[in-house]
Structure 1
Amino acid sequence: MKKILPVLIILVALVITASVVIGVKRTKTVDWEESFDEKSNKPYGVSVLYKELPKLFKDYKVRTVYHQPASYLKANSEDGYGEHIAEGTYIIIGNSDYLEDDSIDELLNFVDAGNTLFLSDYYFPQKIHDTLDVSVNFVENEKDSISYLSLKHVNIDDIKLDRNASDQYFSEFDSINHTVLGHSKIDYKHTNFLQVPFGKGTVFLHTEPKAFTNYHLLKEERYKYIEGILSYLPDNHVYFDSYTKIQTGYDGDVEKESNLGWFLEQLSFKWAWFTAIIFGILFMIFNAKRRQRIIRIIKPLQNTTVAFVKTVSNLYFDTKDHKNLVDKKITYFLEKIRRDLNLNTDVLDEEFIEKLASKTGKKKDDVKKLVNYINLMRSKNEFFEENLIKLNRHIEAFYSK
């Protein structure tokens, strides 16, 4: 123990020193990845919006779609095998470039049937551009990374959007059939929100998905801008796209989550956690060497023969079945004679008495009394308690002498 103590003190000192040094030098960084993940509480996740959707569409069902729209909408069609027929508004925020052509076709069929598609992204898949006849361009924000967002037909002040390096906008669109609903502004206004009729339904295209993220929704009164955008959507069921979020973010990495993830980001908890693990391991190492293994107590087997005999005898005695008890006493006695002395007990005659007395060393008269009484009991049909008691005394006298 004297040799181990200095080592233990050194290890403790090293752990404390490391935690202090790292705690002083480390500055906590914020993850600004634009994941648009509805489960992410990071600045550019959309968990705040996602949690508010059931309140904004309180009389309707909000479903999260973890599949490509092609497979999901086909399954939940009139001829599909899904649990319901999909109808309402399909919302996609960010990552729309990962939509495959068959999914775009299925989304447009969904709209053509009288439903709504809301799509907010910096750029859209080429098939969207071609089919809806729109083009997107951008202007760099070289001044202060701040732009302003506004909506037509909604009575709110312009909303400031900071940390915005550039503005994406619709450089070309069908000004006759497409309706302008909103603008972004750096030095001058650009169209960034369009309403596009398609078949019996409507497509809403928006080019600033960052506005929907946690950072902007929780800052100042920017949430009013999102409330204004969603007010254009019809009151109906909502399908919130999550397929591209669980596949990959813009940088190609999947945003991982774990139960301990948030806690391990807190410096104090992280070092408390690691210190507890280290000391737990040290405790197990040193304690295992010093503690004697537990010796298991093995109880001896109980002899239940006597208890069994008492139970059986009491059973017969209480029922006054003396004949049965007499027969069993005689049977067990003769069985013991056969087993211990190797004598034939089929005929209990004079010859048997002489052999039994000879092998046991008992007086012949005593043995004769016992055998004669056994023969007497065998010849009777009716027994009394006195017969049972007398037979028992003869047998006990035979074993005791």
Structure 2
Amino acid sequence: MNNTFKITFAAFILLVLALTYLEASEPEPVNWTPSYTAKDKIPLGSYVFFESWKNSKSAEIEKISIPPYEFFQQDSVPGGTYFFLNHYIALDDAELEDLLEWVKKGNSAFLSANYLSLNLLDTLQIETSEFMSEKDFSSAPRFNLVNPELKNKTAYKLNHNIDAIFFSKIDTANHVVLGTASLEDDPDPKDQKINFIKVPYGDGTFLLHTNPQAFSNYFLLLDNNYEYAERVLSYLNPGGKILWDAYYKSGKTFYSSPLYILLSNRSLKWAYYFAIIAGILFIVFEGKRKQRPIPVVQALKNQTYEYAQTVADLYLEQKKYKELTDKKIDLFLEYIRLNYRLSTQEINDKFCRDLASRAEKEPEDAHNLFKKINLLKNRKQVTKDEFLQLSREINNFKVQKNGKRTDTA
């Protein structure tokens, strides 16, 4: 092992150690994983909600850690409210059939999830959709209830973008709207989306909610948002037993890896990863020959023109002359900005005179050309002949007195 290799290897080890230190010393990033487990204290865990509800002693809560199908196969199944809270809830047909039969006997099921089981939605004749703000594409909703006695003057706001899901179709004759969501502090009634409904089924009831984030640690610890959860829970049967679903949860309730202690600590985890990477790199670089032929890499061919020609042929084949006209106009305006240093924000007489002067054209030519451009730009349909005629006029306008052009567009 020569000195050069020793120096290189030592430098590599120092680099790995430096990267490990830098990574370990960085602040822990916020974990926005939608867990909803009763033990998770991350923003989208349900530790605060579960512990507050359990300590209030307003209801007897029993954790169900087995699938609903196994739960309903027991000899003695208690009554009450089956409480589902998760990012998604996917019941298979057998589970759904058992749950429907159980609810029909006079029990209730509360399901809060962004994505509810499709077979359940089909059975209850419900459809869901997603919405976001058209102004800034945000989706941080405000929640409120419909009942005047439970409705708050100001909606409860979640200061974080989430999957804003709502019920886009319900049976208005049988389903009861209990809550709404919106993206504005003072929304128009038509902009309010339904996110909480009551669905009678047999002698029982389904309570469906599309925003489980309303029961997360992050939401409940903001201002007075805990009031929203309390008011939602007021729709449950008072004094009834709560069957807390601990099976359909995105977060893990057990450790599946023997390395969980090592991987649960961020510093140890990255040190472990860097050690593996360093070992792999050492094997790769030391395991190959010292000298290898250097392959000749051909430069990639510039096929921009062929690509543009293909796209243009597709537009022509589909007879999208209006789209071609708009693109031709946009390219011409870009040409003016680059070659004549003129702003195209306002097309007026002064602009036409300045353009004609710099392009060595008559002002009347510039006026006539932009008159046609404005005419075709405001048209909904453009014929092939009109497009070709405009293209010829634009190309002719680019030709200087000496017969040369400054571009090829």
With the shorter chain as reference, the TM-score category is 0.5 to 0.7
Which SS does the other structure have where 1:244 is aligned? Answer: coil
* Alignment-derived partner of residue 40 in structure 1: 40
Cα displacement (A) at 1:123: 2.2
Equivalent in the alignment of 1:241: 245
Counting only pairs closer than 5 Å after superposition, residues 260-279 of structure 1 correspond to structure 2 as 264-265=265-266
Aligned to 1:160: 157
| Structural mapping, 1:27-106, within 5 Å | 27-56=27-56, 58=57, 60-75=59-74, 80=75, 82=76, 85-106=77-98
1:147 deviates by: 1.8
Q: Which of 145, 154, 170 in structure 2 is aligned with 1:151?
A: 145
**C-alpha spacing 1:148/1:22, structure 2 compared with 1 (3 Å):** same
1:138: which partner in 2? 130
Unpaired segments ≥5 residues, structure 1: 1-9, 275-401
How far apart are residue 164 of structure 1 and its match?
Answer: 2.1
Question: How big is the shift at 1:256?
Answer: 7.6
8 Å CA contact 1:95, 1:244 repeated in 2? no
Q: Name the counterpart of 2:223.
A: 220
Deviation by residue 1:218-242 (Cα, 9 ceiling, x = unmatched): 1211111111100111120000111
| Residues 44-100 of structure 1: CA deviation (Å, up to 9, x unaligned) | 1111111122234x254211111111210220xxxx1x4xx4110100012443321
SS in 2 for 1:41: coil
CA separation of 1:126/1:254 partners in 2, compared to 1, >3 Å: closer, same or farther? farther
The 3-state SS of whatever aligns with 1:150 is strand
Query: Superposition RMSD on alpha carbons, in Å?
Result: 3.4
Instruction: Give, as a single letter, the amino acid of the residue that structure 1 aligns with 2:227.
Output: K
Which amino acid in structure 1 is aligned with residue 172 of structure 2? Answer: S
1:261/1:101 Cα in 2 relative to 1: closer, same or farther (>3 Å)? farther
Alignment gaps of 5+ in structure 2: 1-9, 185-190, 273-409
Could you tell me how far apart the structure 2 residues matched to 1:34 and 1:93 are?
A: 11
Q: Is the 8 A contact 1:141 1:165 kept in 2?
A: no
Cα pair distance change 1:24/1:199, threshold 3 Å: closer
Asked if 1 retains the 8 angstrom alpha-carbon contact of 2:35 and 2:251, the reply is no
Letter of the structure 1 residue corresponding to residue 30 of structure 2: V
Q: Distance in 2 between matches of 1:174 and 1:97?
A: 21
Question: Quick one: distance in 2 between partners of 1:217 and 1:46?
Answer: 9
2:144–2:151 contact (8 Å) kept in structure 1: no
Alpha-carbon separation, structure 1, partners of 2:258 and 2:30: 16
Q: Superposition pairs for residues 2-401 of structure 1, below 5 Å? A: 21-22=21-22, 26-56=26-56, 58=57, 60-75=59-74, 80=75, 82=76, 85-141=77-133, 143=136, 144-153=138-147, 154-156=150-152, 157-186=154-183, 188-235=191-238, 236-245=240-249, 264-265=265-266
Counterparts of 2:170 and 2:256, CA distance in 1: 35
**Paired letter, 1:150:** N
Q: Deviations along 1:260-283, whole A, 9 cap, x unmatched?
A: 589835x6xx69x99xxxxxxxxx
1:44 and 1:213 in contact (8 A); partners too: yes
CA contact (8 A) 2:96 2:120 kept: yes
Confirm or deny: 8 A CA contact 2:34 2:251 kept in the other structure: no
CA, structure 1 residues 162+246, in 2 after alignment: closer, same or farther (shift >3 Å)?
A: closer
Q: How far, CA to CA, are the matches of 2:251 and 2:23 in structure 1? A: 35
Structure 2 counterpart of 1:44, one-letter code: L
The structure that has the greater radius of gyration is 1
Question: After the TM superposition, which segments of 4 or more aligned residues of structure 1 sit over 6 Å from their partners?
Answer: 246-249, 253-259
- SS of aligned partner of 2:205: strand
The equivalent of 2:281 in structure 1 is: none
Q: Distance in 2 between matches of 1:191 and 1:229?
A: 14
Q: Which moved more, 1:35-44 or 1:176-185?
A: 35-44
TM-score (norm 2): 0.54
TM-score w.r.t. the length of structure 1 is 0.55
Q: Distance in 2 between matches of 1:110 and 1:197?
A: 13
1:258–1:35 Cα change, 3 Å: farther
Distance apart, 1:117 and its partner CA: 0.3
Query: 2: CA distance between counterparts of 1:203 and 1:50?
Result: 21
Q: Distance in 2 between the 1:178 and 1:114 partners?
A: 17
The secondary structure found in structure 1 opposite 2:249 is: helix
Q: 1:199, 1:152 → 2: CA distance?
A: 24
CA distance in 1, matches of 2:69, 2:60: 20
Using a 3 Å threshold, how does the CA distance of structure 1 residues 177 and 23 change in structure 2: closer, same or farther? closer
- SS of the aligned residue for 1:137 comes to strand
Could you tell me whether the CA contact under 8 Å between 2:90 and 2:116 is conserved in 1?
Answer: no
Does the aligned pair in 2 maintain the 1:246–1:254 contact within 8 Å? Answer: no
Distance in 2, matches of 1:261 and 1:219, equals: 33
Alpha-carbon distance in 2 for matches of 1:21, 1:255 = 28
Matched to 1:148, the amino acid is: R
Residue identity in the other structure for 1:223: Y
How high is the sequence identity, in percent, across the aligned residues?
28
